[in-house]
Structure 1
Amino acid sequence: MNRTTFTESLTKDGFPEAVLVTREANITMDVHQHPFEAKALIVEGDMHIRVGDEERTYKVGDVFHLRANEAHSERYGPNGVTYLVGRK
């Protein structure tokens, strides 16, 4: 998915303006949760998100979606990751 299509989908889904987030390479975040729903488009690098027993890899053009208070862990690839995220 490209940025324009992603931004349009956020607007349709009622998300406020998206922000660009960059994370350093090879960092791992243990299981945690956020009090908001998040929908993000990977624009550079890659990351892995584990929810329960399932881990998925997200690369440039992929979108991930986490529900509010959904427990998950994150691992960033060897080049780090940059993603455009909407939160509500």
Structure 2
Amino acid sequence: MTIRPYLGHGAASPILGDPIRRRAYVEDARRLVRDAEGHEVVSETTVYLAPGVEVAPESEVTTPTRTARVITSATLDHPRAPSHVVLALT
């Protein structure tokens, strides 16, 4: 999987950083999630990554099946469960 981090917005399109490759578990399943502004939106794909990566909303993610934008990103860290990062994609 490849992540192009969101750096800001240019005159015509988002500005994305250099690609970062990561191993991930990708689940193509439709889910209702809330975006950064609190609106309910449909996520078509959920990605699970090892901890240690920061992925901002609007970053571009390329999975084996498609390219999409990040809606939300969350780090899950618990002493009795495996830590991981979850991305909800458009």
Highest relative contact order (Cα 8 Å, sep 6+), 1 or 2? 1
Which of 1 and 2 has greater Rg? 2
TM-score (norm 1): 0.27
